[in-house]
């Protein structure tokens, strides 16, 4: 299992798995979104058709675009793919021995930066405005994520390792200590808000804002380049939700059923997919049906006035309570 | 673009073709970061020469051309034109026709305001609002189809009255549909006027003040959102509005204050929709019996109109504001001159004063606030990028082009 080749193959499988379910969830999301608006909606496989069709189209480079224009999509999809190999999906993640939470945080920020780069390199006013907005978003959403993740690591009794598995072993929401459960709930809010900001739907859809800036950073992208951004987004949609499940609801199927061997592993993957889908449904589909898009200034003030203080307070509380020995 | 503009820095084109716009119009905004510092508006992307075409049609045919000026408020152009021709001939339509005119006009207002509300939802990224509103709107479209057989171009007005009667059976179905509609619109009102996100995106956005509104002669809901109780239906009592005791709604009647912003505009339009439903119901209930036209046949009207001389105007409150049709006749079956003044011309230009100081995200709300309907333009600009040329297409050039085309066509014959 630890030979390089098998790790590479396993990582590739994990990437394909995340991409497939990312696109599938996107399709289901669009369908449910449409049904909630009393529309029929696109076929569930529409995102697959979109990506396949885009991949077969010619590449158009706008006049005045810098060389980064062609590199940014590759950068984006590669980062997203790496992310997919780091986050467990019901099974152990392929690269779990090669990095911890810090790597995941970096990869998440990198993927967003690739979008900023691509937008800034396309030389269109819509894209540059979109890139600026994306930067504001990154600054706003990454702080609560960082604080929440570190606090989660502190809350777990092991404390020494910043590894996802260590946190997964002691989910705060299911702790015996009620104080930890409360803290876990606050951190869940922080991480879910990060997720909403990271995939940019509903209130945080400011960066693409079709009716305002015509697609923002992606305004000039078409064909295979756009397909790469779409695939990256699908992976991030899946991996982000998957991360939330891993951090807060990591229970496997063995609490309900007494399965063994490959059957248990298969069951765990299915169970994980179900939980991930629920997160996607609540944080993406339901949320974007209920709300429209905020202004970028309102988004920034929402995060800096409410979400970041919330996570900071829970973080400080965690430190104080821990030093007092209460938790 | 002049040098003065170039120094202002980054400019963002919203239009002539942009996802936020449904018709070609060019807004250009200059920004510093997210803040708008200057705005400019350009018309002229969709010139159709409809007034000239109209001058070649006879008095009856022109009515159905007028309907096609706008894709939404077809009645609002057909009716004032019919009014203008009637005033030329000094004819009064029978009472029943006046009531039917109110019914059609108000149903059109409902569908236009519902459409606008959906567009607003779409502009602020709230697509659920769009789909819900347009779902409700379908009921009005059904009602219009029931009356006239068509959803948009109803062809209901004629000189001296209307073309189709609303029978007892149709009236009962209509009344039932109106109850349904009222329920839908009231639900929408409760959602829209209290939804936190709609408030965040519309309150204080596109803020005029009363003086600016008066100075720029804002029309329709744009004036009424600033507390100016101005409405042709109320001031002139056209058709049967005088009998029905109509009084225009201003923002303070709905939300307690004249906000002069996009939120007030929304409130006024939603309240007007409900008022229109009640007007339609009243008109249907109180409709007197009798003929629906002053003339037995259109040909009689045409013969009479061909003897008319002089000039006349017809006015009507379209969903977007006052529409004025001017006609001049010289004892011919065609008008000598036909001129249309649509309210969007005024309302859209007024946004230029409101853009600066807002954010880019507000720009689409401001652009949508007057419910722009691009009906009147004058010229086209051709830009040849390869040769770096800019050339204004003027009348002489178009004439030359059409002569060339005529010769080509004649050659085939």
**pLDDT-above-70 percentage for chain B:** 90
Q: Locate B379 and state its tokens.
A: 């010229």
For the segment A76-82, the average pLDDT, to the nearest whole number, is 90
Do the Cβ atoms of A293 and B10 come within 8 Å? no
- Is a pLDDT exceeding 80 seen at residue A294? yes
Pick A291's closest partner by Cβ from B11, B126, B135.
B126
Pick A214's closest partner by Cβ from B18, B197, B362.
B18
CATH of domain B50-353+364-368: 1.10.645.10
φ, ψ of residue B363 to 5 degrees: the values are -55, -40
Higher pLDDT, B103 or B235: B103
Q: Locate B49 and state its tokens.
A: 């020469």
φ, ψ of residue B237 to 5 degrees: the values are 60, 40
**How many Å apart are CA A6 and CA A19, to the nearest integer?**
20
- Residue B380 has a pLDDT of 46
Buried b (16+ CB within 10 A) or exposed e, A250-289: bebbeeeeeeeeeeebebbbebbbebbbebbbebbbbbbb
Question: What is the secondary structure of A145-205 as a DSSP string?
Answer: HHHHHHHHHHHSS--S---HHHHHHS-GGG-SSHHHHHHHHHHHHHHHHHHHHHHT-GGGT
Do the Cβ atoms of B127 and A37 come within 8 Å? yes
ipTM at complex level: 0.78
- Residue B375 has a pLDDT of 47
* Annotated domain spans of chain B: 50-353+364-368, 382-413
Residues 6+ apart with CB under 8 A from B48: none
Find the angle CA(A15)-CA(A147)-CA(A116) to the nearest 5 degrees: 55
- Residue A160 has a pLDDT of 56
| pLDDT per position as a tens digit, A176-191 | 778 888 888 888 888 8
Chain A: give the shortest CA distance to residue B75, in Å: 29
**How many Å apart are CA B372 and CA B367, to the nearest integer?**
7
- Is a pLDDT exceeding 90 seen at residue A99? no
Do the Cβ atoms of A203 and B361 come within 8 Å? no
Q: Are strands B309-318 and B321-330 parallel, antiparallel or unpaired?
A: antiparallel
| pLDDT per position as a tens digit, A248-262 | 888 777 777 777 777
The torsion angle over the Cα atoms of residues A204, A210, A216 and A222, rounded to 10 degrees, is: 130
Nearest-by-CA chain B residue for A126? B12
Q: Locate A19 and state its tokens.
A: 């991409």
Q: Locate B141 and state its tokens.
A: 């479209």
Nearest-by-CA chain B residue for A127? B12
For the segment A281-303, the average pLDDT, to the nearest whole number, is 87
Pick A205's closest partner by Cβ from B12, B125, B129.
B125
For the segment B11-27, the average pLDDT, to the nearest whole number, is 79
- Banded pLDDT at B277 (limits 50, 70, 90): very high
Do the Cβ atoms of B200 and A298 come within 8 Å? yes
Do the Cβ atoms of B19 and A290 come within 8 Å? no
- Residue A159 has a pLDDT of 55
Tell me which chain A residues have a C-beta less than 8 angstroms from the C-beta of B121: 292
- Is a pLDDT exceeding 70 seen at residue A1? no
- Residue B7 has a pLDDT of 57
- Residue B409 has a pLDDT of 58
Question: Smallest Cα–Cα separation from A71: which of A103, A12, A113, A125?
Answer: A113
- Residue A2 has a pLDDT of 56
Alpha carbon separation from A29 to A236, A238, A245, B41, B121 (Å, rounded) = 14, 12, 18, 39, 20
Helix (H) or strand (E) holding B41: strand B35-42
- Banded pLDDT at B182 (limits 50, 70, 90): very high
Q: Determine contact: B22 vs chain A, CB below 8 A.
A: no
**How many Å apart are CA A270 and CA B404, to the nearest integer?**
71
Question: Smallest Cα–Cα separation from B258: which of B311, B299, B221?
Answer: B221
**How many Å apart are CA A199 and CA A287, to the nearest integer?**
12
**What is chain B's mean pLDDT, rounded?**
83
Q: Is B336 helix (H, G, I), strand (E, B) or coil?
A: coil
- Residue B389 has a pLDDT of 66
- Banded pLDDT at A143 (limits 50, 70, 90): confident
- Is a pLDDT exceeding 90 seen at residue A175? no
- Is a pLDDT exceeding 50 seen at residue B378? no
Q: Determine contact: B183 vs chain A, CB below 8 A.
A: no
Pick A38's closest partner by Cβ from B18, B131, B197.
B131
Question: Smallest Cα–Cα separation from B397: which of B380, B411, B377, B410?
Answer: B380
SS3 annotation, A234-287? HHHHHHHHHHHHHHHCCCCHHHCCCCCHHHHHHHHHHHHHHHHHHHHHHHHHHH
Decide if B25 contacts B42 (C-beta within 8 A): yes
Buried b (16+ CB within 10 A) or exposed e, B49-62: ebbeebeebebbeb
CB atoms within 10 A of CB B396: 8
**How many Å apart are CA A110 and CA B65, to the nearest integer?**
58
For the segment A214-230, the average pLDDT, to the nearest whole number, is 85
- Banded pLDDT at B381 (limits 50, 70, 90): very low
- Is a pLDDT exceeding 60 seen at residue B103? yes
Higher pLDDT, B48 or A310: A310
Question: Smallest Cα–Cα separation from B73: which of B292, B287, B265, B344?
Answer: B344
| pLDDT per position as a tens digit, B280-300 | 999 998 888 888 888 888 888
- Banded pLDDT at B1 (limits 50, 70, 90): very low
**How many Å apart are CA B52 and CA B54, to the nearest integer?**
5
CB atoms within 10 A of CB B385: 7
Handedness of CA B148, B321, B135, A24 (dihedral sign): positive
Is the peptide bond prior to B16 cis by the omega test (within 30 degrees of 0)?
yes
Residues 6+ apart with CB under 8 A from B39: B27, B28, B29, B30, B351, B352, B355, B356, B363
- Residue B106 has a pLDDT of 92
- Banded pLDDT at B386 (limits 50, 70, 90): low
- Banded pLDDT at A50 (limits 50, 70, 90): very high
Phi-psi region of A198 (alpha: psi -120 to 50; beta: other; left: phi over 0): alpha
**How many Å apart are CA B303 and CA B299, to the nearest integer?**
6
User: Exposed (0-12), middle (13-18) or buried (19+): which is A239, by Cβ within 10 Å?
Assistant: buried
Inter-chain Cβ pairs, chain A and chain B, closer than 8 A = 79
**How many Å apart are CA A245 and CA A167, to the nearest integer?**
11
Do the Cβ atoms of B34 and A297 come within 8 Å? yes
Residue recorded with tokens 């059109």? B108
- Residue B246 has a pLDDT of 84
Question: Smallest Cα–Cα separation from A232: which of A2, A58, A54?
Answer: A54
- Banded pLDDT at B387 (limits 50, 70, 90): low
Do the Cβ atoms of A294 and B123 come within 8 Å? no
Chain A: give the shortest CA distance to residue B24, in Å: 14
Chain B: give the shortest CA distance to residue A52, in Å: 24
Do the Cβ atoms of A37 and B128 come within 8 Å? yes
Question: What is the secondary structure of B180-233 as a DSSP string?
Answer: HHHHHHHHHHHHHTT-HHHHHHHTTTT---HHHHHHTT--THHHHTTT----HH
Q: Locate B372 and state its tokens.
A: 């722009």
- Is a pLDDT exceeding 70 seen at residue B404? yes
Q: Determine contact: B68 vs chain A, CB below 8 A.
A: no
Do the Cβ atoms of B359 and A297 come within 8 Å? yes
Alpha carbon separation from A190 to A30, A124, A149, A195 (Å, rounded) = 25, 34, 9, 9
- Banded pLDDT at B385 (limits 50, 70, 90): low
- Is a pLDDT exceeding 80 seen at residue A220? yes
**How many Å apart are CA A17 and CA A1, to the nearest integer?**
19
Do the Cβ atoms of B125 and A290 come within 8 Å? no
Tell me which chain B residues have a C-beta less than 8 angstroms from the C-beta of A294: 197, 200-201
Lowest mean pLDDT among B91-95, B246-250, B310-314, B384-388: B384-388
Pick B124's closest partner by Cβ from A132, A214, A292.
A292
Residue recorded with tokens 């065609």? B334
- Residue B388 has a pLDDT of 64
- Is a pLDDT exceeding 50 seen at residue A90? yes
Do the Cβ atoms of A125 and B11 come within 8 Å? yes
**How many Å apart are CA A168 and CA A160, to the nearest integer?**
14
Higher pLDDT, B407 or B319: B319
Residues 6+ apart with CB under 8 A from A69: A61, A62, A118, A121, A122, A123, A220, A225
Phi-psi region of B237 (alpha: psi -120 to 50; beta: other; left: phi over 0): left
Do the Cβ atoms of A292 and B198 come within 8 Å? yes
């Amino acid at each position: 299992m630890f030979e390089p080749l098998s790790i590479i193959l396993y990582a590739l499988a994990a990437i394909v798995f995340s991409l497939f379910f990312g696109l599938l969830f996107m399709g289901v999301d669009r369908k449910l979104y449409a049904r909630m608006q009393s529309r029929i909606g696109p076929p569930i496989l529409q995102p697959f058709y979109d990506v396949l069709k885009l991949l077969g189209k010619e590449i158009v480079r706008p006049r005045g675009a810098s060389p980064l224009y062609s590199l940014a999509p590759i950068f984006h999809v590669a980062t997203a793919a790496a992310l997919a190999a780091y986050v467990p999906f019901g099974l152990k993640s392929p690269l779990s021995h090669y990095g911890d939470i810090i790597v995941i945080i970096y990869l998440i920020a990198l993927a967003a930066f690739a979008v900023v780069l691509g937008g800034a390199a396309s030389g269109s006013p819509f894209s540059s405005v979109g890139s600026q907005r994306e930067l504001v978003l990154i600054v706003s959403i990454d702080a609560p994520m960082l604080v929440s993740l570190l606090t989660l690591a502190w809350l777990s009794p092991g404390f020494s390792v910043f590894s996802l598995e260590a946190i997964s072993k002691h989910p705060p929401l299911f702790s015996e200590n009620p104080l930890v459960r409360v803290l876990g709930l606050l951190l869940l809010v922080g991480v879910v808000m990060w997720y909403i900001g990271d995939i940019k739907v509903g209130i945080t859809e400011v960066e693409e804002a079709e009716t305002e800036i015509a697609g923002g950073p992606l305004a000039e992208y078409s064909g295979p380049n756009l397909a790469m951004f779409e695939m990256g987004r699908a992976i991030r949609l899946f991996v982000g939700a998957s991360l939330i499940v891993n951090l807060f609801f990591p229970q496997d199927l063995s609490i309900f059923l007494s399965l063994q061997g490959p059957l248990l592993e298969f069951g765990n993957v299915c169970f994980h997919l179900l939980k991930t889908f629920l997160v996607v449904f609540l944080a993406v589909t339901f949320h974007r049906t209920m709300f429209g898009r905020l202004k970028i200034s309102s988004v920034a003030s929402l995060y800096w006035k409410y979400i970041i203080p919330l996570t900071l307070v829970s973080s400080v509380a965690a430190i104080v309570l821990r030093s007092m020995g209460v938790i | 673009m002049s040098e003065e503009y170039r120094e202002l820095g980054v400019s963002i084109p919203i239009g002539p073709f942009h996802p936020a716009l449904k018709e070609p119009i060019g807004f250009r905004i200059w920004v510093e970061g997210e803040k708008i510092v200057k705005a400019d508006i350009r018309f002229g992307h969709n010139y159709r020469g409809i007034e000239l075409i109209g001058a070649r049609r006879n008095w009856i045919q022109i009515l159905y051309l007028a309907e096609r000026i706008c894709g939404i408020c077809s009645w609002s152009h057909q009716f004032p034109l019919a009014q203008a021709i009637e005033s030329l001939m000094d004819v009064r339509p029978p009472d029943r026709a006046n009531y039917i005119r109110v019914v059609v006009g108000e149903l059109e207002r409902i569908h236009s305001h519902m459409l606008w509300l959906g567009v607003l939802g779409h502009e602020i990224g709230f697509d659920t609002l769009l789909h819900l509103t347009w779902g409700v709107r379908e009921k009005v479209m059904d009602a219009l189809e029931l009356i006239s057989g068509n959803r948009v171009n109803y062809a209901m007005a004629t000189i001296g009255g209307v073309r189709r009667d609303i029978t007892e059976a149709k009236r009962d179905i209509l009344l039932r549909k109106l109850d349904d509609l009222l329920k839908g619109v009231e639900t929408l009102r409760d959602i829209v006027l209290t939804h936190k996100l709609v408030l965040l995106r519309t309150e204080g956005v596109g803020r005029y003040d009363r003086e600016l509104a008066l100075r720029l002669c804002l029309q329709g809901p744009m004036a009424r959102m600033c507390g100016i109780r101005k409405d042709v239906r109320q001031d002139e009592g056209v058709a049967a509005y005088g009998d029905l005791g109509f009084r225009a709604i201003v923002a303070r009647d709905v939300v307690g204050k004249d906000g002069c912003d996009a939120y007030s505009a929304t409130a006024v339009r939603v309240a007007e929709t409900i008022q229109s439903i009640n007007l339609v119901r009243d008109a249907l209930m109180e409709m007197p019996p009798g003929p629906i036209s002053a003339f037995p046949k259109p040909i009689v009207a045409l013969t009479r109109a061909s003897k008319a001389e002089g000039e006349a105007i017809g006015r009507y409150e379209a969903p977007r504001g006052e529409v004025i049709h001017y006609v001049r006749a010289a004892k011919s079956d065609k008008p000598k001159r036909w001129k249309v003044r649509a309210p969007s011309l005024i309302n859209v230009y007024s946004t230029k004063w409101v853009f600066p100081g807002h954010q880019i995200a507000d720009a689409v709300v401001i652009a949508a606030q007057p419910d722009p309907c691009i009906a009147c333009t004058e010229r086209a600009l051709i830009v040849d990028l390869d040769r770096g040329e800019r050339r204004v297409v003027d009348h002489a050039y178009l004439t030359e082009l059409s002569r060339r085309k005529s010769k080509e066509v004649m050659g085939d014959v």
